[in-house]
Structure 1
Amino acid sequence: MVEEEFARFEERGTLTVVPRSAGGRRIGSDPGQLLRHPVTEFLPPPGAVDRLADAYAREGLLVEARTGAGLTVSGGNTLLAEVFGSPVRPVRNKYIRGSVRYETRAAGPLRSRVLPELVDDVQVPRSGFELAVSATPPLPRTDRFLRLPEDAVRVAGAGPLHAAGIRGEGVRVVMVDTGLYAHPHHRAHGYTTSVVPALAAFDPAADERGHGTAMSALLLAVAPRAELTMVKMANEGFSFPLAAFQRAVQLAPDVISCSWGTLRAEPQLHLEVADAVRRGITVLFAAGNGSTDRPSAMFQSVATPGALTVGGAHLSPGGALRAADLASSYRSAVFPGRSVPDLSGPCGLLPHGDYIVFPTQPGCLFDRRNSAYDGTAPDDGWLVSSGTSGATAYAAGVVALAVQRGVGGGRALRAEDLADACLPVTEGVTSTGDACGGSCPNEAVGLGLLTAGGRGA
């Protein structure tokens, strides 16, 4: 399967086109400017993206996604070389172990021959990584598993809202992830879902990694009547998170849920996220399972101002809450003064976070990999896992309930809108060394464990 994917992307490449802004201001390699200037100062003049999209289409390129901030195009490598000066070829990432992952790289400098006066930059998009725990030998289990949907509803305290008809009806949620397999679990609960591939090369019926199918089940457990669209950003070997996020924005949802980060820095993604928030979309990103946003790091979490970052809190069988030692917390190196996470969702503990039973695509990457330690078969369509990925999907479900209730009044929700719905977490230490210190809010979990109760949710 991965060999077939490699052959496809060896022939066909994908590029990000960054239009020139109306006033000449550019993100470049410093997205921290979004703290100092309004996002509108980085956007192109009206009609510029449409002009570029039309011109590239006339050249024979496929416009995969476009927003008010930029666009993603793809085409055969001979054509890319003619239009942009270089082909784009796949290269294997040697740092990700346990699976074969590819990035892409241009053979030479990139510039647009088409409408160059409208183009600030042409870039090879970064790949992404879904936030998951590495497999380790099994240890005696001291905590029972959470089952979906009932235990997610219990943890969120969402039962009374569900009984009152607050189940996410009419709320448009987009999850950007690895795909959504038509699992019997989803059909049995009557969930309304659809899949949009970020690139035409992706099969919308498959979830080769299985991460997205699992995350969608947790989101829908909390908000079972939300209108969920999965924007598939990956197959087994390749991923294109920026194009997928752009595609998500095109769908004009109320909420975008992102349980992933990027390999190396992707400044243009921050501009897209900031503009989505400006448009009134609530965007959630996972804080990470040990990753941060240090620019020099391979694995980059995303902490764009205005997005809600989600950390991890662990609820024991006896009801005790503590910061999950699997989850990240950090002070952003990209956005000075930004503390991550803003709030937290349910998350397992080290060494392997086996906490929630998830449906997934039978025989997919995660089904095979997790079976080494979670007690399930490698082809049964079930896995046991958790992390800030699941915490984010859960939080997105809670946010969908809040949107249905009118919280935010049509604007993107802020952390303070949800403060009254957060349970204090005062014990525990995160994977990055922050302790709760006996009080909450704190640097380890932010406002605490988000629930569906209180004024804000």
Structure 2
Amino acid sequence: MELARFERCGVLTVVPRSATGLALGDDPALLLRHRAQEFLPAPGTVDRLADAYAREGLDVEARTEVGITVSGAPALLAEVFGHPVRPVRNKYIRETVRHEFAAAGPLRSRLHTELVAEVRVPRAGFELGVDATPPLPRDARYLRLPEDAVRLAGAGRSHAAGVRGDGVRVVMVDTGLYDHPHHRAHGYRTTVVPALSALDPAVDERGHGTAMSALLLAVAPRADLTMVKMACESFSFPVAAFQRAVELAPDVISCSWGTLRAEPHLHLEVANAVRRGITVLFAAGNGSTDRRTAMFQSVATPDAITVGGVHVGPDGHRQAADLASSYRSDVFPGRRVPDLSGPCGTLPHGDYVVFPTQPGCMFDRRNSAYDGTAPTTGGWCPAEHRERRRMRPEWWRSRCSRASARAAR
């Protein structure tokens, strides 16, 4: 179904020509020598381009000062940009079906050619963390949300003082946000916005975004969180989603993902968001780097905050998590990753935090091979049923919907 949908609707990134003549192209390191505003187009350029594409029948899905995402039927994209754009399977990822887009030839805008620097086929993304792995040994200790996240982050004192994220607008760019009983029980304020009109905001097919949102909201439970859904199960659109996040003008944009192969334009979008006063965080994990030849690229744009992992043992001993990444940037000389770290599991398995997720989602199905739950009834990564047996029945009933309580029984 997903493949058929995107066979009928391709996606492209349009990069306007800058007023200074500078072009980032495939060299994000230029951001070390030039300010982000030097890559901005002349005032009114983005509006002119967006209006022109809309008049041709294309959908303008997202837009910022430095880029536009458009979608449309392959024949229409070919008419406007020279060649059709269709989905192809990523042959390097074997455990799940992942698709991305490819153009049949060079892309060039027929409309306002003088205003367009380049037209790009967007890269796909990949999630960092919440791996499908065997459970921890029985004598090990899982971290539970929200209490253990509050403890490890040292947020208890702030919470006691009334600092709980009130008035802070956070956008998380991820796979979606399922209406989980955990979120409802804690009264979290959340909304979901799709990055593309073809994405369903009501579901989180992969389950990663639901899990990551629970970790963020554990520490800032009163923040206003908007999830920009960037993916379905086999397609993802990180640039469009990040552009959509910038459009919402938040205080913070949180991203726990990277891209499949290099996506230079994303660095410009990030740098411009930071210029606008938005705090941007990107995860660095799962062995990813920004080495130019790497398949799995983490994002280490200057002035964005990169986040690594620390494992805290039952005795309180802290060590760098070998599941997270630490490297010297290949794209930005002198840049060291990460800037700070949060709780993370370790190799070989990585299970550490009990995350709520959408029952039957990709991560729930993967973990069912190890945690003893059925592929479509878990809703927690790892093993919901094992953790529930340790909780008092009245605790569980007070925090879950009737449906979840019936499932627990």
TM-score (norm 2): 0.91
Is 1:316 aligned with 2:313? yes
Decide whether aligned partners of structure 1 residues 215 and 139 sit closer, same or farther in structure 2, where only a CA change above 3 A counts: closer
Counterpart in the other structure of 1:346: 343
Decide whether aligned partners of structure 1 residues 346 and 139 sit closer, same or farther in structure 2, where only a CA change above 3 A counts: closer
- Which secondary structure state, in structure 1, belongs to the residue aligned with residue 265 of structure 2? helix
Out of 59-68 and 152-161, give the one that drifted further: 152-161
Is 1:358 aligned with 2:355? yes
Out of 124-133 and 360-369, give the one that drifted further: 124-133
Q: Retained in 1: the 8 A contact 2:133–2:350?
A: no
Residue by residue, what CA displacement relative to the aligned partner does 1:168-201 show, whole Å, maximum 9, x if unpaired? 0000000000000111110110000000000000
Counterpart in the other structure of 1:74: 71
Shift of 1:163: 1.8
Percent of aligned positions that are identical? 79
Q: Retained in 2: the 8 A contact 1:285–1:309?
A: yes
Is 1:8 aligned with 2:9? no
- Which secondary structure state, in structure 1, belongs to the residue aligned with residue 345 of structure 2? coil
Q: 2:102 aligns with which of 86, 100, 105?
A: 105
Counterpart Cα distance in 1 of 2:62 and 2:135: 42
Aligned length: 382
Q: Retained in 2: the 8 A contact 1:85–1:110?
A: yes
Counterpart in the other structure of 2:82: 85
Shift of 1:77: 1.0
Q: 2:366 aligns with which of 369, 376, 379?
A: 369
Counterpart Cα distance in 1 of 2:339 and 2:20: 33
Counterpart Cα distance in 2 of 1:249 and 1:63: 15
Q: Retained in 2: the 8 A contact 1:133–1:289?
A: no
RMSD: 1.3
Shift of 1:40: 1.1
Q: Retained in 2: the 8 A contact 1:376–1:383?
A: no
Q: Retained in 2: the 8 A contact 1:133–1:352?
A: no
Shift of 1:141: 4.6
Counterpart in the other structure of 1:415: none
Is 1:175 aligned with 2:172? yes
Shift of 1:230: 0.2
**Structure 2 residues without counterparts, runs of 5 or longer:** 384-409
- Which secondary structure state, in structure 2, belongs to the residue aligned with residue 372 of structure 1? helix
- Which secondary structure state, in structure 1, belongs to the residue aligned with residue 273 of structure 2? helix
1:370-409 matches, cutoff 5 A: 370-379=367-376, 380-384=378-382
Counterpart Cα distance in 2 of 1:234 and 1:370: 20
Q: 2:225 aligns with which of 225, 228, 237?
A: 228
Shift of 1:162: 1.1
Q: Which amino acid aligns with 1:187?
A: R
- Which secondary structure state, in structure 2, belongs to the residue aligned with residue 9 of structure 1? helix
TM-score (norm 1): 0.82
Shift of 1:293: 0.4
Counterpart in the other structure of 2:215: 218
Shift of 1:370: 1.7
Is 1:254 aligned with 2:251? yes
Counterpart Cα distance in 1 of 2:329 and 2:28: 12
Moved over 6 A (4+): none
- Which secondary structure state, in structure 1, belongs to the residue aligned with residue 52 of structure 2? helix
**Structure 1 residues without counterparts, runs of 5 or longer:** 386-457
Shift of 1:134: 5.1
Shift of 1:46: 1.0
Q: Retained in 1: the 8 A contact 2:58–2:71?
A: yes
1:265-280 matches, cutoff 5 A: 265-280=262-277
